Chains A and B, each alone.
Chain A
Amino acid sequence: MSDWDWPVVGRSWDLLMEGTKLTLQLFAVSLILATLLGLILALMRMSSISPLRFISAGYVWVFRGIPVFVTLLFAFFVARDLPGLSWLTPIQAGMLGLGVDAAAYKAEIIRAGLLSVDPGQHEASEALGMTKRHYMRRIIVPQSIRVIVPTYMSNSILLLKATSVAVGIGLVELTGITRQLSNSTFRPVELFTAAAVIYLVLTTLLVVPQEYLERRFALKT
């Protein structure tokens, strides 16, 4: 079609990159938060202390059952009204909402990975007199990573894409900036195509650490 204006993408490039930068910040911080929280929740779920198991199961039940957008709105409107959290910027509220939501999934992925390790590995470690702390770190977790990585990375791709929901609380990340640009230039097709390609490049790049980790933790045969 002759009335397309692809150079608009070039003219908007700096702003698109600004948006991409915020998208990556949202992704990185919420991923770290989700992973740490997910690990804690997974260990709580496997604990012998029943209140910890109960809290962890409840957390997963709640946040897996609520749309990420609703969680995000809670983080934006409700969390910032709480006494200790009034300092939260909108961006930080976005990171919190995304991280808290993803943690429920990470917890299940990590738990499944830890459970996939042969119970004989626990028994051998116990029989040698190792502390649980030691053998979890040295024996169980390294073996679970092989199982965790593929699902963990798929879920991380979902998280990267879910950052676009943050446009709903007014954050100008990649989707937000693209919408603003398309409103002002009336070039939605060109600009959203560019945004789609940028998302595709980012998610494709996530395959690199995945392959590295899968090689690193593969069993030598």
Chain B
Amino acid sequence: MALVNVSGLRKSFGKTDVLKGVDFQVERGEVISIIGPSGSGKTTMLRCVNLLERPTGGRIEVDSRVLCEEQANGSMTFADKAAIREAREHIGMVFQRFNLFPHMTAVENVIEAPIAVKNVPKPEATARAHELLEAVGLGHKGDSYPMQLSGGQQQRVAIARALAMDPTLMLFDEVTSAVDPELAGEILLVMKRLAEQGMTMLVVTHEMGFAAEVADRVLFIDHGRIVEQGPAADVLQNPSHERTKAFLHAVLDRAPMEAEVEEAAEGLVDDLLVRPERIGGDDDGS
């Protein structure tokens, strides 16, 4: 039984159809990268999985809990508020813009939900928070406020905050897009470790290197539909669909401009990022 089961997922904002019928499953322990042009609907799709966005059609099931279901007459039924909260306890989410609580220290950010939602005693939650911050390389920053931290550090606190709820599934929404390029590596490294430890992850990303090295599967989305999916190596190296090819081409053509930046980060992330130029050779010098 797949951990996540999505079928016929549709979402419109007013008259704009953002998702036009999306089906996918995620097995336990699987890491899936969701790639696609901006405006393709990939972030909306991710946000539907924990109902931050309410679908207008289709069915979503996470860990045997049905979150929403389309009825025969086309109307949507949603799980009640308490059931949605219960499901969200097990679905961690990390946002593009971190969304840390700015009036709380790193530790306070991490312990707030376990104490409030799972009734974990404060000393226990605090001890676990220190462990988690240690694990994301911020053991010494527990008493810092978000605005005292770099973007990369804030995002790692946000990952620790999500992990503190012991989720069975983690959603990552372009988590490196709002940080300086040289800080993206430290976030990706944490995500890679998490993947190695068997976490089930859905990762919306522009980091083709991460997709290539860490993801088990890649979904390519365009215009609200999954255009192509499969093992990362297949989709990224031998895309079968024209639109996938065009997208990868556009992304990879930018590589020479970014080469300098990436070189600067080389030491930190070399073992993590497969450089775009190493993915297939078909765009070299063309």
Binding site for B on A (CB under 8 A): 118, 120-121, 123-124, 126-131, 134, 138-139, 142-143, 217, 219-221
Q: Which of B50, B99, B113 contacts A121 (CB 8 A)?
A: B99
Q: Is the CB of A127 within 8 A of B116?
A: no
Query: In the complex the two chains form, what is the Cα distance from A46 to B100 in whole Å?
Result: 23
Minimum Cβ distance to chain B for residue A125 (Å): 8
Query: In the complex the two chains form, what is the Cα distance from A24 to B7 in whole Å?
Result: 64
Q: Is the CB of A128 within 8 A of B102?
A: no
Q: Is the CB of A127 within 8 A of B52?
A: yes
Q: Is the CB of A129 within 8 A of B88?
A: yes
Minimum Cβ distance to chain B for residue A127 (Å): 4
Minimum Cβ distance to chain A for residue B202 (Å): 13
Query: In the complex the two chains form, what is the Cα distance from A139 to B99 in whole Å?
Result: 11
Query: In the complex the two chains form, what is the Cα distance from A163 to B144 in whole Å?
Result: 45
Binding site for A on B (CB under 8 A): 50, 52, 85-86, 88-89, 91-93, 95, 97, 99-103, 112-113, 116-117, 145, 147-148, 158, 161-162, 165
Q: Is the CB of B101 within 8 A of A139?
A: yes
Q: Which residues of B contact A138 (CB under 8 A)?
A: 112, 116
Query: In the complex the two chains form, what is the Cα distance from A219 to B52 in whole Å?
Result: 27
Q: Which of B85, B86, B88, B95 contacts A120 (CB 8 A)?
A: B95
Minimum Cβ distance to chain B for residue A146 (Å): 8
- Looking across the interface, which residue of chain A has its beta carbon closest to that of B50? A127
Q: Which of A129, A143, A221 contacts B113 (CB 8 A)?
A: A129
Q: Which residues of B contact A219 (CB under 8 A)?
A: 102-103, 145, 147
Q: Which of B99, B103, B147 contacts A118 (CB 8 A)?
A: B99
Query: In the complex the two chains form, what is the Cα distance from A142 to B103 in whole Å?
Result: 8
Query: In the complex the two chains form, what is the Cα distance from A83 to B89 in whole Å?
Result: 51
Q: Which residues of B contact A217 (CB under 8 A)?
A: 103
Query: In the complex the two chains form, what is the Cα distance from A220 to B91 in whole Å?
Result: 30
Q: Which 9 A-B pairs give the minimum distances between C-beta atoms?
A: A124-B99, A128-B113, A120-B99, A220-B145, A127-B93, A129-B89, A129-B88, A221-B147, A129-B117
Minimum Cβ distance to chain A for residue B200 (Å): 16
Q: Which residues of A contact B165 (CB under 8 A)?
A: 128-129
Query: In the complex the two chains form, what is the Cα distance from A147 to B157 in whole Å?
Result: 26
Q: Is the CB of A220 within 8 A of B88?
A: no
Query: In the complex the two chains form, what is the Cα distance from A217 to B52 in whole Å?
Result: 29
Minimum Cβ distance to chain A for residue B84 (Å): 9
Q: Which residues of B contact A118 (CB under 8 A)?
A: 99
Query: In the complex the two chains form, what is the Cα distance from A90 to B98 in whole Å?
Result: 54
Q: Is the CB of A129 within 8 A of B86?
A: yes
Q: Is the CB of A127 within 8 A of B91?
A: yes
Query: In the complex the two chains form, what is the Cα distance from A126 to B81 in whole Å?
Result: 11
Minimum Cβ distance to chain A for residue B69 (Å): 20
Q: Is the CB of B145 within 8 A of A128?
A: no
